[in-house]
């Protein structure tokens, strides 16, 4: 027996209620989530690749791949598209550095999003 009220996204998702008000609530919840209304997104932040090469002290893609743990093909892709924010952090940490030592404005870009 469910104690969740009708017209809530939890009743739709957990209790499998398919009444009109629960379907509408779930739809609005998903739309808000998709639009980023539930929190800031940093998905579209991209960082240049050259500072990562400089920090690693190499110009070779394969050597950078070994040092960071990312596939060489991924690093080649970063050359054209930039490094996604979550991968930039992982690559910097793999080199034993903080991302701000590689990209000085790393935290400045994240502040407006938060």
Element housing 32 (H / E)? helix 20-34
Residue 32 contacts by C-beta under 8 Å, 6 or more apart in sequence? Answer: 38
Take residue 5 and report the two structure tokens written for it. Answer: 């009220």
Q: What's the confidence (pLDDT) of residue 62?
A: 95
Shared domain for 6 and 51, answered yes or no, is no
Per-residue tokens: 110: 């994240």
The structure tokens listed for 113 are 């999003």
- Please report where in the chains the tokens 């919840």 appear, as a residue: 29
Show the domain range for 28: 1-37
Same domain, 53 and 107: yes
* Residues 51, 105 within the same domain: yes
Give the pLDDT confidence score for residue 8 in this predicted structure: 86
Per-residue pLDDT of the chain (114 residues; tens, 9 = 90+): 557 888 888 888 888 889 999 999 988 888 877 666 555 555 678 899 999 999 999 999 999 999 999 999 999 999 988 998 889 999 999 999 999 999 988 877 555 544
pTM to 2 decimal places = 0.59
Residues 75, 20 share a domain: no
CATH of the domain at 71: 1.10.260
Query: Could you give phi then psi for residue 69, rounded to 5 degrees?
Result: 90, 5
Question: Are both 54 and 109 inside the same structural domain?
Answer: yes
**Domain shared by 24 and 53, yes or no:** no
89 and 61 share one domain: yes
Give the three-state DSSP class for 44. Answer: coil
**Number of domains making up the chain:** 2
């Amino acid at each position: 027996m469910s104690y969740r009220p009708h017209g809530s996204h939890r009743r739709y998702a957990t209790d499998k209620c398919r009444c009109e008000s629960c379907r509408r609530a779930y739809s609005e919840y998903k739309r808000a989530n998709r639009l980023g209304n539930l929190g800031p997104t940093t998905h579209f932040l991209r960082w240049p690749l050259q500072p990562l090469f400089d920090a690693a002290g190499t110009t070779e893609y394969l050597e950078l791949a070994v040092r960071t743990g990312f596939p060489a093909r991924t690093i080649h892709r970063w050359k054209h598209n930039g490094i996604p924010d979550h991968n930039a952090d992982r690559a910097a940490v793999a080199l034993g550095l903080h991302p701000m030592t590689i990209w000085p404005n790393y935290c400045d870009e994240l502040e407006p999003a938060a």
